[in-house]
Amino acid sequence: MIPGDEAYGQIQDAAIVVEDARIAWVGPRGDLPSQYDSLRAHSLGGRLVTPGLIDCHTHVVHGGDRAGEFEMRLNGASYEEVARAGGGIVSTVTATRASDVDRMVADALPRVDALLSEGICTLEIKSGYGLDTETELRMLRAARRIGHERPVRVCTTFLGAHAVPAEYDGRPDAYIDEVCIPTLRKAHGEGLVDAVDAFCEGIAFSPEQVNRVFDAARKLGLPVKIHAEQLSNLGGAIMAAGHGAISADHIEYLDEAGVAALAKSGTVAVILPGAFYTIRETQAPPIAALRKAGVPMALATDNNPGSSPLTSLLLTMNMACTLFRMTPEEALAGATRNAAAALGLDDCGTIAKGKRADLAVWDVKTPAELSYRIGFNPLHSRIFGGIS
């Protein structure tokens, strides 16, 4: 069954009125109110227009790369074995600690530009490769700077609970209490934090440890999100749902109880096919159960140097359809309105009166082409805040 226009909320021969970087009116061109007749019209040649895309989960700021580990895994080492051998996240920490804000920005901009070239207007950027106060702060300052150096809205996420640094090896609780939570408070005090995230996994932090970070976040009035059930089921998503988390991400190993918890709390499921593909995971996230339970599903690149060096949200959409059997309409919703919800944003992600005038214009005949092609970018133009 091929969905019609109504499935995407599509309007044929539409007009969109933009005033002060916001959408003032949208509808069939023939219904355009006469009050707008005097505005300068700009034809898009009948092309498809979608909301500007939103990449709601990235680690795009980081030092170094992990091509060497890529080769290790190709010689048989699993992702967890690489992590336990002191590789993985911790090896990127060394490179990031040696970097400064200017260098972090310069290293990230080619990846950011690649993402923007596909119509992204909102980009989430996490910390989490510093794991000490000063480097975590530098990462978040770099993320903020990217939002000033490029026409993109940046949402920052504190991910101090990403891994246990070498100097706290075997002492995760001490790291949470002595570094992670104090750094969160300092970063929040500098206006660097829009949300708080944590990696709940056997190779990272327990639900109890993450719970302490989330308690601190909520005392600061910050929304929380979680990397959960990526490699096993520790109940992280259920714990996060109990905190009213705005998203639970990865969730390959989410069970029925976890699905029900997300549905009850209104938490968005963020599906990350890049990590599933890169670490050659075999357990797919429970898409059918999430769909049946009405849990909103978002998509993101999870751009990071280890488990998902993926810098294409369009390819992410294709992978979500081909690997996880999401529909093209679900994939587009996952990169727009549901991605906005995963960031706790209500002013973007759809083309509607009052929303930001963030739009993507495409040289395609149908919306399904955006998920159908592999490694092809049909973007005609990107409109950010009403300016193309």
Ligand X SMILES: O=C(O)CC[C@@H]1NC(=O)NC1=O
Please say which residue, 176 or 275, places its beta carbon nearer to ligand X: 275
CB of 11 to ligand X, least distance (A): 38
Region 92-121 residues binding ligand X, contact defined as CB under 6 A: 92
What is the token pair recorded at 184?
A: 């969160």
Please say which residue, 59 or 382, places its beta carbon nearer to Fe ion: 59
Binding piece for ligand X, criterion CB under 6 A, among 259-267, 300-308, 327-335, 350-358: 300-308
Please say which residue, 17 or 279, places its beta carbon nearer to Fe ion: 279
CB of 322 to Fe ion, least distance (A): 21
- Give phi and psi for 68, each to the nearest 5: -60, -40
CB of 10 to Fe ion, least distance (A): 32
Question: SS3 of 147, please?
Answer: helix
- Is residue 5 a contact partner of residue 366, using CB atoms and an 8 Å limit? no
CB of 188 to ligand X, least distance (A): 21
Which DSSP symbol is given to 40? P
- Taking CB atoms, the residue at the shortest distance from ligand X is 306
How far from the centroid of its chain's Cα atoms is residue 139's Cα? 17
Q: Which does 307 bind (CB under 5 to 8 A by kind): Fe ion, ligand X, none?
A: ligand X
55-87 burial by CB neighbour count: b if 16+ within 10 A, else e?
A: bbbbbbbbbbebeebeebbeeebebeebbeeeb
CB of 302 to Fe ion, least distance (A): 4
Binding piece for ligand X, criterion CB under 6 A, among 86-94, 351-359, 361-369, 370-378: 86-94
CB of 129 to ligand X, least distance (A): 7
227 lies in the site for ligand X, by CB under 6 A: yes
316 lies in the site for ligand X, by CB under 6 A: no
- Is residue 169 a contact partner of residue 204, using CB atoms and an 8 Å limit? no
Residue 57, marked binder: yes
306 lies in the site for ligand X, by CB under 6 A: yes
C-alpha 207/C-alpha 59 separation (Å) is: 22
- Give phi and psi for 123, each to the nearest 5: -135, 125
Residue for token digits 């990526």? 230
Which DSSP symbol is given to 35? G
In this structure, the number of other CB atoms found within 10 A of the CB of residue 254 comes to 27
Q: Which does 116 bind (CB under 5 to 8 A by kind): Fe ion, ligand X, none?
A: none
Residue 4, marked binder: no
Residue 162, marked binder: yes
CB of 210 to ligand X, least distance (A): 11
What is the token pair recorded at 382?
A: 């990107």
Please say which residue, 50 or 304, places its beta carbon nearer to Fe ion: 304
Binding residues for ligand X, rule CB under 6 A, total 12
89 lies in the site for ligand X, by CB under 6 A: yes
C-alpha 340/C-alpha 72 separation (Å) is: 36
Please give the C-alpha separations between residue 233 and each of 238, 258, 283, 284, 301, in angstroms, as whole numbers.
Answer: 10, 9, 12, 13, 22
Interface residues with Fe ion (CB under 5 A)? 302
β-bridge partners, 112: none
Please say which residue, 59 or 144, places its beta carbon nearer to Fe ion: 59
Region 9-68 residues binding ligand X, contact defined as CB under 6 A: none
- The sheet carrying 48-51 orders its strands as 48-51, 359-362, 379-383
Q: Where along the sequence are the contacts to ligand X (CB under 6 A)?
A: 88-89, 92, 162, 199, 227, 230, 275, 304-307
Annotated binding site for Zn(2+): 57, 59, 227, 302
Annotated binding site for 4-imidazolone-5-propanoate: 66, 129, 162, 230, 307
